[in-house]
Structure 1
Amino acid sequence: METPFPPHEPNGPDAARGPRLREIPLRMVIPNLITVLAICAGLTGIRLAFENKYQLAVGMVLLAAFLDGIDGRIARLMKATSKFGAQMDSLADIINFGVAPALVSYVFILDQGRSLGWAAALIYTIAAGLRLARFNVMAERDVKAKWQSEYFVGVPAPAGACLVLLPVYFGFLGMAPSATFAYASSLYTVIIAVLLVSRLPVWSGKSATARIRRDLVLPMILVVVLYVALLMSFTWEVLVASVILYLVTLPFGARAWRRKYGTLTISEETDDNGNSIDSGGI
């Protein structure tokens, strides 16, 4: 009786050579190692929060956000992008930008809001997951809207992780934790969750066509150096100011989008053939 499977020959002509292992270039592994380090930093931040080492916990969450932000760029620079790396990065994002900041915030202040604080942490984490899922779906489309190279749909997850920790920053500056502060922080956490899943156009800063005048290059570099120096010396004050400035600029980014793409909606675009593209995710 014939079978669809070929006979197995344990002593065949290739048996002496043994199994062949596929070699992977080292440059393909480096971005994945950075992603793993980001996951380790995020999970360590959660542990430090439960050990009441809150400043170190926030530092680890911010480090995780930094590492997660550079792994993709390093992969592109080294020409080491892969589907495996993309999936790994997505799994790291939900930990670093969803679970870690929510738990650190909950342990620091939201737990004093009891069930409302826990509900706010859950809502934020779920919103971060939905935001990342929508981003992945939009990034995989073959035909993309023109504005997708310049704007995000909703606040990006890395920014959301930094924004949602604002009550923790205030706590480090001396604001006494109380039930009122906890309830206000819970409301703020829900607002950030809404911004994550909203259809608000948010400027990404990743446009390939963006240009800067030559005479402004050196002043811009000096501003970045000054910001980093202030961040190192007055960490929590600078983070509070950065979060507030980011939130204030959101309406201006949406206004700029409407001026440039005012005839379209954030959920619909057309390709070169006039066909409709649903670009807004869920």
Structure 2
Amino acid sequence: MLRRGLPLRAVAPNAVTALALCSGLSGIRFAIAGRWELAVVLVLVAGVLDGLDGRVARMLHGESRFGAELDSLSDAISFGVSPALILYLWSLQTLPRFGWMASLMLAVFCALRLARFNAAIDADEQPHKSAGFLTGVPAPAGAGLALAPMFAWFWSGEPVLRDPRLVAPWVAVVALLMVSSLATFSWTSLKLRRTVRFEALALVVIVAAAAVNAPWETATVACLVYLACLPLSIASYARVRRLRAPAASPAPPAPPPSA
């Protein structure tokens, strides 16, 4: 029996994923040339494309297991290997032993996070996902957090931000956040109330204007806001668990019938 090939409607989202992979790999090339801003921009472009491929697949009904595996491989390179090498060439190579260890942690832990995600994709019991949360910091957000010292360095020029004694621990902490079991917000699961939709639209316009006029300052603030949201997501998930606990607890046994 002949196997069916990849349906045509699945080509478009997979092409977007391949473009994200090309963008992430190209960031390494420009980092080798010392063009730091362009290298980081290409990683960010990979993050944008990574957010689009799933939406394109759902819009075209082109979801496939092949696309899911390709997306994970692309994420491991674009948000693990590429940021790790960019940070190593930018700062961590002056601290060879511990700098390379931090870069390895970022790349390997990103791959481990994606492997954990793939292993649990068919699991029936996923407490975080069923409550609208993610497990650990997602790969694109982890790459952005790891590159935060570069964001700040681009607009401030502070030499201390390039100090490997600061960058190495920061990268290690971000890597640990990626493989952690912390509940983090899934932005695709967030729903706005009707009363704040206009304000949300105004906020999007303000953020877009800030990103155009001051991109690196905006990226730095976005990283700080994301870090500030982590305690909120942990507390929100704990509240959801408390609310679900009474419904999940077994009902008390019925009293025996009286004689």
TM-score bracket, shorter-length normalisation = 0.7 to 0.9
> Could you tell me how far 1:66 is from its partner in structure 2?
1.1
- Quote the residue 2:208 is aligned against: 228
Deviations 1:84-110 (A, max 9, x none): 111111110100110011111111111
**Within 2, Cα distance between the matches of 1:71 and 1:263?**
34
Alignment equivalent of 1:197, drawn from 159, 171, 179: 179
- Quote the residue 2:150 is aligned against: 168
CA change 1:94–1:23 in 2 (3 A) is: closer
Alignment equivalent of 1:44, drawn from 26, 29, 35: 26
- Quote the residue 2:56 is aligned against: 74
- Quote the residue 1:128 is aligned against: 110
> Could you tell me how far 1:21 is from its partner in structure 2?
11
**Within 1, Cα distance between the matches of 2:165 and 2:102?**
10
- Quote the residue 1:10 is aligned against: none
- Quote the residue 1:254 is aligned against: 234
Report 1:1-282 matches (<5 A): 25-141=7-123, 143-149=124-130, 150-177=132-159, 181-207=163-189, 210-262=190-242
> Could you tell me how far 1:260 is from its partner in structure 2?
1.4
**Within 2, Cα distance between the matches of 1:226 and 1:50?**
35
**Within 2, Cα distance between the matches of 1:23 and 1:135?**
25
Q: Which runs of 5+ in 1 are unaligned?
A: 1-19, 275-282
> Could you tell me how far 1:24 is from its partner in structure 2?
5.8
Q: Which runs of 5+ in 2 are unaligned?
A: 252-259
> Could you tell me how far 1:204 is from its partner in structure 2?
0.8
- Aligned partner of 1:182: which letter? P
- Quote the residue 2:254 is aligned against: none
Secondary structure of 1:206's partner? helix
Deviations 1:96-133 (A, max 9, x none): 11001111111111112222111100111111111111
**Within 2, Cα distance between the matches of 1:119 and 1:21?**
44
**Which has the larger Rg?**
1
> Could you tell me how far 1:244 is from its partner in structure 2?
1.0
- Aligned partner of 1:229: which letter? A
**Percent identity of paired positions between Structure 1 and Structure 2:** 37
CA change 1:187–1:32 in 2 (3 A) is: same
> Could you tell me how far 1:174 is from its partner in structure 2?
3.3
**Within 1, Cα distance between the matches of 2:100 and 2:117?**
26
CA change 1:239–1:88 in 2 (3 A) is: same
Higher helix share: 2
Secondary structure of 1:139's partner? coil
**Within 2, Cα distance between the matches of 1:52 and 1:88?**
29
> Could you tell me how far 1:72 is from its partner in structure 2?
1.4
CA change 1:26–1:176 in 2 (3 A) is: same
TM-score (norm 1): 0.81
> Could you tell me how far 1:163 is from its partner in structure 2?
0.4
**Within 1, Cα distance between the matches of 2:127 and 2:6?**
36
CA change 1:174–1:114 in 2 (3 A) is: farther
TM-score (norm 2): 0.88
Q: How many pairs are equivalent?
A: 248
**Within 2, Cα distance between the matches of 1:79 and 1:180?**
45
Greater than 6 Å deviation, 4+ residue runs: 20-23, 270-274
